[in-house]
Amino acid sequence: MRNVDLFDEYLFERLNASEKLDFEQRLKNDAEFEKEFLAHQLFVESLSYATAKSDLKKKMESIHTEAFGNANVVSIAPKHNYFKIAAVAASVSLIVFLTGSLIFKNTYFAKKSVYEELGRDVENSLIAFEAGLKVGSNKPKREILPATFEATGFAISSKGYFLTSMHVVKNADSVMIQNDELDYVSAERVWEDAKLDVAIYKIKNAADINMKDVPISFRGGDLELGEKIFALGYPRETVVYAEGNVSAVSGLNGDTAKYQLSLLINPGNSGSPVMDEQGNLVGIISGRNNGAQGVSYAVKARYIAEMIKNIPDKKLKDEILVNGHNNIKKLKRTEQIKKLKPFVYNIMVYNSHPAE
């Protein structure tokens, strides 16, 4: 099948689930293919708009003919033609409505290719994992199988509970976490909210791990436009720092549960904590805009706190015990990072059916 035909099959939703997944994966991995697709998408949208305008013009001409006929009328003196004004106004209204419909359709198409979730596929790390080590780690060697893909998570309580993005773990058979201070340990999912794209996990045998003084505390209110933020995550084998600011107080397509951030992130950053300048948790990275460099999205901490508050299992809710005290707000950024790093995890997802 020619690329142009494949593009049409995708845009007009004629691919089955497997073909659609293969197509979207190819978009992510093949820059030339993506460039060709975006050009074709723009062409289709322009063609749709031109066709719609032509159809509208023919429709208006038909209405005019039905109402006034085809007779040629000579006007002796100029006068206001209120019927014509009304017809023009109606045409403008219809065009505005049509344009809005096209924008909605274009947004629907664009949403598929613009929003990118940020799990990190693991294809080239087999050697490091066979050694049981991450690059730069000095832990004792331990044989660990390579994960299907990796992302980021972070602790929210001293009882071993941590957050990550739901899309990262939705089909997980098992999950392990590690960082510079924590050897590979297993974790189990205890709560999830697919709509928010947030999952809560608990470290198995958490009592054997030093989880005291978790420094991550939730900010009470929302961020304001232009506020500075920073994030820590695992787009590579070691933790990476990124900083930016709030570029919009809502996410893609006006999603009020998310922020739009000017923050350069990469695959593996899904689940990364987003902090304000005082070190308060303000969000969790959920994805980025692959059509605009440096544009990313984060679920607002306020909605996550509300999710935890509404967990019906009182014992679980009480155990999570989200930290309400910020003990790093007066520290320099480098010191804040040192305090936060032990509680930011590399999430290793094992999945025998990743294509679902």
Mean pLDDT by 10 residues, the chain (356 residues): 84 81 82 80 63 59 57 40 48 49 44 54 43 42 72 94 95 93 93 96 84 87 96 95 97 94 94 97 94 91 95 92 82 97 96 60
Domain 120-350 matching CATH 2.40.10.120: the answer reads yes
Q: Are strands 295-300 and 258-262 parallel, antiparallel or unpaired?
A: antiparallel
Q: Which amino acid is residue 350, in one-letter code?
A: Y
211, 185 contact by CB (below 8 A): no
Beta bridge pairs of residue 295:
262
Q: How far apart are CA 276 and CA 261, in angstroms?
A: 12
Give the pLDDT score at 218. 94
DSSP 3-state of 255: coil
Q: Give 256-298 pLDDT, tens digit per residue.
A: 999 999 999 999 999 999 999 999 999 999 999 887 888 999 9
Q: How far apart are CA 356 and CA 156, in angstroms?
A: 30
Position of tokens 């991450």?
134
44: left (phi over 0), alpha (psi -120 to 50) or beta: alpha
Position of tokens 């979730």?
117
Distance of CA 356 to the CA centre of its chain: 19
**348, two tokens:** 């290793």
Angle subtended by helix axes 82-114 and 17-29, to nearest 10? 80
Q: How far apart are CA 322 and CA 216, in angstroms?
A: 8
Strand locations in the chain, DSSP E?
Answer: 115-116, 120-121, 149-155, 161-165, 174-179, 182-193, 198-203, 217-218, 228-233, 240-248, 258-262, 273-276, 280-289, 295-300, 344-350
DSSP 3-state percent helix, strand, coil across the chain (nearest 5): 40, 25, 35
Give the pLDDT score at 325. 81
Beta bridge pairs of residue 242:
231
CA nearest 273: which of 226, 333, 216? 216
Give the pLDDT score at 52. 56
Beta bridge pairs of residue 217:
280
Q: How far apart are CA 90 and CA 103, in angstroms?
A: 20
Q: Which amino acid is residue 294, in one-letter code?
A: G
Q: Which residues lie closer than 8 Å to 305 by C-beta, 6 or more apart?
A: 218, 322
Global pTM reads 0.63
Q: Hey, what long-range contacts does 89-95 have (CB within 8 A, 24 or more apart)?
A: 91/56, 91/60, 94/56, 94/60, 95/53, 95/56
118, 270 contact by CB (below 8 A): yes
Give the pLDDT score at 37. 80
215, 340 contact by CB (below 8 A): yes
Q: In the chain, what are the domain boundaries?
A: 3-115, 120-350
Q: How far apart are CA 335 and CA 249, in angstroms?
A: 28
